Amino acid sequence: MALAGIFSALYFGITHTVWAVTGEFTRFGGHILELFGVDVSDWAYFGLVKLDGSTWSRTDGWIVWGMFIGALISVLLSSNFKIRFPRQKRRYVQALAGGIIAGFGARMALGCNLAAFFTGVPQFSLHAWLFIVATAGGTYLGAKLVNMKWWKGKPVLRAGGTAQPTGQQKSRQPIGGTVLGFLYLGLIIYFYASNQFMLGTAALFGAVFGILIERGQICFTSAFRDLWISGRATMTKAITLGMAVSAIATLIIILVAGLDPVTKLAAPSTLVGGLLFGLGIVMAGGCETGMMYRMMEGQIVFVPVFIGNILGATALAYSWDHLGVYRYLGESGAPVNLISVMGPAAALLLTLLVLGVFYAIAAVWQRHYRFGKGFTKGGATHVR
C-alpha cells in the first residue's frame, strides 16, 4: 500500500493526472453507445470527463488496461491462474447488480475508491473525506444485506465448480507471464520511441499498479466489509498507512513542481454516490481494484461485475443532466481543497491526524470485535 501511494504521487507529478479507473469505464460506455448510433455529444457528463479520442489514445485508458495486464502478468508468473465459477448461479445476478450500483455511485461522486482514497485524500480534496464516510456507511448496509438468508440462498455442496489447472498447465503459466511481460514492455518502448511519452508513462504505471494490487490483494471492499463481519482490520490499516505515505509524497510534489491539486466537487451527490458505491461493492464482492485482479486470476463471477460497472457508470452519465442528478444533488456543492483553506502545513497535519485516528480506531476494533458476537470489552484473539 505504501508503494502504491508513492507511485500514485509520482504518476501525478509526471502526468498531472490521477490514478483512477471508473472515469474510463464511463467513457468506454459512451464509445459503446456511439457504436450503436447513439449521439452522446450533448450529454453534460461526457463534456465533464472528456470523451475525446479512444480508450487506446488516452492516458486513463492505458492506466486501466495496464492494470489488467500487470495483474495478469503477476498471476501467471506465480502460477495462480485458474478458472473458477461461483457455486450458485444467483451470484452472477448479484454481481451484475452490485457492479451497476457501484458504478453508478462512483461516478455520481465523481470518483471511485482510487479517486477518493489514493488521489482525493492525498490531493487534500474535501470530497474524498465525504466519500469515505459515505462508503463506510454503504458497506455496513451491504454487509447486513449479504448476510440475509434470502440473499445467501441455500448452500450448494458439490464437487467441481472450479477448473483446476494441471501441473503441466501451472508450469507453463510463468512462461506465458514472461512472454506477455516482454510484449507489453515492447509496447511501452514503442510509445516512448514514437514520442507518445504520456501514453508510455500511463502504460508503465498501469502495469505497476496492476502488479501491486494483485500481489498485495488490495481490495477496498474487504477493508470495510471485514470490519463489519469479522472485525479483521488488516487491509483497513494498510490502506490508511498507504494514504498517509501518499499524502506526504503528493504534497512534496505539489510544492516542488508548483502543481495545482486535483479537487473534485463536494456536494450531496458525493455522499449519496459514496453510499451507493459502498453498498454496491459489497453486493458485487469486490471494488474496482479487487474486481480487476480477481478477473485476471480466473474468477468468472467478476466479469458481470466489470460489465455492471460500465453499465452503472454510463447510466449515471445519462442521469447527470437528463434526470436532474446534478441539478438536485450536485449544483449546490463546490470544489473545496484543504490547502487553499488552511495552507499546506496545516492541511497535511490535519490529514495525518485524521488518518492516525482512523488507524487507531481500526486497531481497537480488531482487538475487541468478535465474529458472531459483535463489539466486546474483552480482547479478541481470532485475528492478528
For the chain, give every domain's residue range: 2-51+89-142+218-375
Section 20-37 average pLDDT: 94
Give the model confidence (pLDDT) of 109-153 as tens digits: 998 778 778 889 999 999 999 999 999 999 999 999 998 988 888
For the chain, count helices (H), then strands (E). 18, 6
pLDDT for position 381: 46
Tell me the average pLDDT across 326-346: 96
Q: Tens digit of pLDDT for each residue in 360-373?
A: 999 998 888 766 56
| Cβ pair 132, 274 in contact under 8 A | yes
Reported pTM: 0.90
Q: Closest Cα partner for 325 from 43, 18, 33?
A: 43
Backbone angles phi, psi at 324, to 5 degrees: 80, 20
Is 93 in contact with 101 (CB distance < 8 Å)? Answer: no
**CA 223/CA 240 separation, integer angstroms:** 10
Of 42-51, 170-179, 194-203, 224-233, minimum mean pLDDT range? 224-233
Task: Say whether 70 sits in a helix, a strand or coil.
Answer: helix
> One-letter amino acid identity for 198?
M
CA proximity to 351, closest of 5, 4, 3:
5
φ, ψ (nearest 5 deg) of residue 125: -90, 130
Q: What residues does 370 pair with on adjacent strands? A: 374
Chain segment 66-112, per-residue pLDDT in tens: 999 999 999 999 999 999 999 899 999 999 999 999 999 999 999 87
C-beta separation of 114 from 330 below 8 A = no
Cell 450533448 belongs to residue = 42
Dihedral sign, Cα of residue 286, residue 183, residue 77, residue 203:
negative
**Average pLDDT estimate for 200-214:** 96
In this predicted structure, the answer to whether residue 378 has a pLDDT above a threshold of 70 is no
Predicted confidence at residue 380, as pLDDT, reads: 47
Q: Which of 314, 317, 286, 318 is nearest to 94 (CA)?
A: 286
- What's the average model confidence in pLDDT over 308-315? 96
Q: Rounded CA gap, 349 and 101, in Å?
A: 35
pLDDT of residue 210: 95
Distances (CA, A) of 323 to 29, 119, 243, 372: 18, 29, 35, 42
Spatial contact of 66 and 210, defined as CB atoms under 8 Å apart: yes
Give the pLDDT band (50/70/90) at residue 333.
very high
Distance CA 213, CA 294 (A): 10
| Residue 165 banded pLDDT, cuts 50, 70, 90 | low
Spell out the residues 6+ positions from residue 304 whose beta carbon is closer than 8 angstroms to its own: 92, 93, 95, 96, 99
How confident is residue 384, by pLDDT bands cut at 50, 70 and 90? very low
pLDDT, the chain, mean: 90
Query: Given a cut of 70, is residue 42 above it in pLDDT?
Result: yes
Q: Give the C-alpha separation, 54 to 40, whole Å.
A: 14
- The mean pLDDT value for 277-286 works out to 93
Predicted confidence at residue 1, as pLDDT, reads 85
Q: For 212-239, what is the mean pLDDT?
A: 86
| Confidence category of residue 379, pLDDT binned at 50, 70, 90 | low
pLDDT for 235 beyond 80: yes
Q: Is the pLDDT of residue 39 over 70?
A: yes
The DSSP output letter for 332 is T
Q: Identify the band that residue 159 occupies on the pLDDT scale cut at 50, 70 and 90.
A: low
